[in-house]
Amino acid sequence: MKLEMPQRVPLALQVAGSIRAGIEKKAWADFLPGARRLSELLRVSRPTVNAALHLLAKDGLITVRHGHRNRIIPRRLRGPATRSWLVAIVTHEPLTMMAPAAYRGIVEMQAHLAERGLETEIFVCPNRSGTSGHRKLAEFVNRPHVFCCVLISLRRELQQWFARQTVPALVLGSCHASVQLPSFDVDYRAVCRHAGGAFLSKGHQCMALIMPNSGGAGELASELGFREAVETGSPSAGATVMIVRHNGTAQNIRTKLDALFNSSRPPTALLIAKPQHVFIVVIYLLQRGLAVPDTVSLIARDQDNLFSNVSPPIAHYSIANDAFNHRLSRLMLQMVNRGNLAAKPTLIFPRYFPGGSIKNLRRNSVFVCPA
- pLDDT tens for residues 69-97? 888 887 655 555 555 678 899 988 887 77
Where in the chain are the domains?
11-77, 86-186+322-351, 188-318+352-361
Q: What is the mean pLDDT of the chain?
A: 84
**Which pLDDT score is estimated for 229?**
93
Nearest to 367 by CA among 291, 312, 298, 297: 297
Q: Does domain 86-186+322-351 have CATH number 3.40.50.1100?
A: no
Average pLDDT, stretch 28-57?
82
Q: What is the DSSP letter of 31?
A: B
Coil/strand/helix, residue 32: coil
Nearest to 297 by CA among 320, 265, 274, 266: 266
3-state SS record for 237-249? CCCEEEEEEECCC
Position 227, amino acid: R
Within this chain, domains 86-186+322-351 and 188-318+352-361 share the same CATH topology:
yes
- pLDDT tens for residues 345-371? 999 999 999 999 999 998 654 434 443
> Has residue 35 got a pLDDT over 70?
yes
Q: Does domain 11-77 have CATH number 1.10.10.10?
A: yes
**Which pLDDT score is estimated for 71?**
84
Q: Residue 229 and residue 227: Cα distance in Å, rounded?
A: 5
The fourth-level CATH superfamily of domain 188-318+352-361 is Response regulator (3.40.50.2300)
**Which pLDDT score is estimated for 371?**
38
CB neighbour burial string for 153-175, b if at least 16 within 10 angstroms, e if fewer:
bbbbebbbbbeeeebbbbbbbbb
Average pLDDT, stretch 259-277?
94
Q: Residue 159 and residue 45: Cα distance in Å, rounded?
A: 28
CB neighbour burial string for 28-67, b if at least 16 within 10 angstroms, e if fewer:
eeeebbebeebbeebebeeebbbbbbbbbbbbebbebeee
